[in-house]
Amino acid sequence: IRNGVEFAVADLSLAEFGRNEIRLAEHEMPGLVELRREYGDARPLRGARISGSLHMTVQTAVLIETLVALGAEVRWASCNIFSTQDHAAAAVVVGPDGTPEAPAGVPVFAWKGESLEEYWWCTEQMLTWPGDRGPTAIVDDGGDATLLVHKGVEYEKAGAVPQPGPDDSEEWRAFLEQLRGSLAAHGSRWSRAADEILGVSEETTTGVHRLYHLADAGELLFPAINVNDSVTKSKFDNRYGIRHSLIDGINRGTDVLIGGKVAVVCGYGDVGKGSADSLRGQGARVIVTEIDPICALQAQMDGYEVASLDSVVDRADIVITTTGNKDVVRLEHMARMKHQTILANIGHFDNELDMAGLARVPGIRRITVKPQVDEWRFPDGHSIIVLAEGRLVNLGNATGHPSFVMSCSFANQVIAQIELFTAREKYERQVYRLPKELDEKVARIHVRALGGELTELTEEQAAYIGVPVQGPYKPEHYRY
Ligand code: NAI
């Protein structure tokens, strides 16, 4: 705590660098700037305590300061051990008007390269408000903050935290350990917190899947807004953001020429489409793997070869997982890869690759070339290069998506937070999407910022196709 602001970041002296980058990013984030202009006077989030678990980057700093401009108090942590940009974290703590000696910003608990134990400690600090209170709402990315609250409540009711099993991951062990300490120190804090939480707005596909599971099982403790499936989120961030940031991660990690190489992209959903496009843009020969025939056919129509990983893995120079599924690249695949094949994951969790299995190969050597770049040398002498230890390569090896596309995503986050706080009576313990008018509003702002000119419907045209002149223009089932 310094000057009354709690924090755990790498180095507050990086704040000026962070502030300069935040200033440049604001210009590229018209959605957030417009929301500040629209709601800055009314301050609809006054009284809200928002806890955020989302990559602590420069773009997220602009989101945090937008929530503050709308009246909220905010605490933040990253949702990944490698994704924090330390200068952005420092700038948020210091705030626009503070100094490293007298910070005046927002409590942040995040640094690049946390251990798993530190990660869950940071997540708990971010959810713990003065007076041992919880937040009024959560901004989540991948669902870890929501998981901590739900499991906290479950184990409080059971009266104990279970012991980890022999097959449990390091991640899960660290999670259970954090909750054990938390329950011992705070009694029934998670149940009290859950009662006060008005809802969560979830950023990504993987977190949204977790929320639908909870809701289907009748176990969701508060309302949830699925921000990911706003069209202006998943059809832009997951696709065009990835198109930019995947090769950014590969280039910063390896500097290997992508042109001419054989790249395998596992999964052809939104992130897979952006990944394949990103690699093809550099001249790679891209092969797609899919389980879903519709996405596989889309890949073929887009000009990609579709094959199983088993049949092409020994031809690949680069292998990227984008599925949000587990065990996609297994040890048997890694063992068959060519010398110095680059292996990376851009889906939310690292379990798409069998990293634990790789580490257990008898006689294998791990040579860390630089942070987030490891050469794994098999006993037969061939190596593979694994980026970001199998965690999100674009955030581990590079700086994630650029500002403009995050402006679309985060405008939806801000709108969702306003909804949860000001229209709470509308929402039950279910998962909701934002209305299409708001999606179109977010798009409209960004079309204008890029200098685009929208065509206006005449009354007659609107009547002819059966939509209002001002929108929404498409039915809910339209797929874009
Ligand atoms: P999606 O559901 O649109 O696409 C996933 C695709 O993978 C689906 O088409 C599915 O059929 C396919 N798939 C599943 N199992 C497979 C397997 N074993 N082999 C081959 N294909 C398989 O999901 P989306 O939106 O593309 O997200 C994918 C992941 O990326 C999620 O974990 C999401 O949270 C994450 N994500 C990461 C971002 C980043 O910045 N790194 C940004 C946005 C999302």
CATH, residue 341: 3.40.50.720
Same domain? 135 vs 24? yes
Residue ranges for the known binding site for substrate are 57, 141, 203, 233, 237
Let me know whether 80 and 201 are in one domain: yes
- Our count of domains for the chain comes to 2
Considering the domain architecture, whether residues 192 and 304 belong to the same structural domain is answered as no
Co-location of 426 and 277 in the same domain: no
Closest residue by CA, ligand 1 atom 8: 269
pLDDT tier, 132 (very low <50, low <70, confident <90, very high otherwise):
confident
Task: For ligand 1, atom 42, name the residue with the nearest CA.
Answer: 238
Rounded to whole angstroms, how far apart are CA atoms 285 and 259? 8
What interhelical angle do 58-69 and 15-27 show, nearest 10? 80
Same domain? For 137 and 97 the reply is yes
Please indicate, yes or no, whether residues 18 and 151 belong to a single structural domain of this protein: yes
**pLDDT value of residue 110:** 98
Instruction: Report the nearest atom of ligand 1 relative to the CA of 328.
Output: 18
Angle made by CA atoms 240, 245, 248, in degrees to the nearest 5: 140
| 218 belongs to a structural domain | yes
> Do residues 159 and 298 share a domain?
no
Give the Å distance between the CA of 268 and the centre of ligand 1.
7
Q: Are residues 225 and 79 in the same domain?
A: yes
d(CA 71, CA 39): 9
Question: Is 471 contained in some domain?
Answer: no
Binning pLDDT at 50, 70 and 90, where does residue 187 land? Answer: confident
Q: What is the pLDDT of residue 158?
A: 95
Is there a single domain that holds both residue 52 and residue 157?
Answer: yes
Question: Distance from the CA of 51 to the center of ligand 1, in angstroms?
Answer: 26
Please give the pLDDT value at position 432. Answer: 98
Between the CA of 270 and the centroid of ligand 1 the distance, in Å, is 7
Residues 285, 225, single domain; the answer is no
What pLDDT is attached to residue 428? 98
Using the mean position of ligand 1's atoms as its centre, give its distance from the Cα of residue 144 in Å. 18
In this structure, which amino acid lies at residue 438?
Answer: L
pLDDT band at 359 (very low <50, low <70, confident <90, very high): very high
Residue 139 lies in a domain: yes
Mean pLDDT, range 374-389, rounded to an integer: 98
What is the distance in A from the centroid of ligand 1 to the CA of 67?
Answer: 29
Domain region containing 251: 243-347+350-390
Of residues 132 and 16, more confidently modeled: 16
Distance from the alpha carbon of residue 204 to the mean position of ligand 1, in angstroms: 10
Q: Which two tokens stand for residue 156?
A: 């409080």
Q: Is the CB of 267 under 6 A from ligand 1?
A: yes
Amino acid at 172: W
Does pLDDT of 186 surpass 90? no
Tens of pLDDT along 191-242? 999 999 999 999 999 999 999 999 999 999 999 999 999 999 999 999 999 9
Give the confidence band of 7 by pLDDT, cuts at 50, 70, 90.
very high
- For the chain, how big is the Rg over CA atoms in Å? 23
Please give the ipTM for the structure prediction: 0.99
Domain of 51, CATH number, reads 3.40.50.1480
Is residue 456 situated within a structural domain? no
> Does residue 4 form part of some domain?
no
Confirm or reject: Cβ of 392 under 6 Å from ligand 1: yes
Query: pLDDT class for 64, splitting at 50, 70, 90?
Result: very high
The answer to whether residues 29 and 117 belong to one domain is: yes
Tell me the mean pLDDT in the region 475-480.
Answer: 96
Q: Which residues are annotated as a binding site?
A: 57, 141, 203-206, 233, 237-238, 267-274, 290, 325, 346-348, 394, 401
In a domain, 463, yes or no: no
| CA 168 to centroid of ligand 1, rounded, Å | 23
Which of 55, 205, 287, 394 for mutating ligand 1's site (highest number of atoms within 8 Å of CB)?
205
- Inside any domain, residue 265: yes
**Residue of 405, 383, 384 lying closest to 394 (CA atoms):** 405
Residue 99 domain flag: yes
227 lines ligand 1 (CB under 6 A): no
Q: Is the CB of 327 under 6 A from ligand 1?
A: no
217 and 272 assigned to the same domain: no
Average pLDDT over residues 149-161: 96
Residue 361 has pLDDT above 90, yes or no: yes
pLDDT of residue 84: 98
Angle between helices 170-186 and 144-158 (to 10 degrees): 60
Q: What global pTM score does this model have?
A: 0.97
Looking from the CA of residue 348, the nearest atom of ligand 1 is 32
Kindly report, residue by residue over 241-293, the tens digit of the pLDDT.
999 999 999 999 999 999 999 999 999 999 999 999 999 999 999 999 999 99
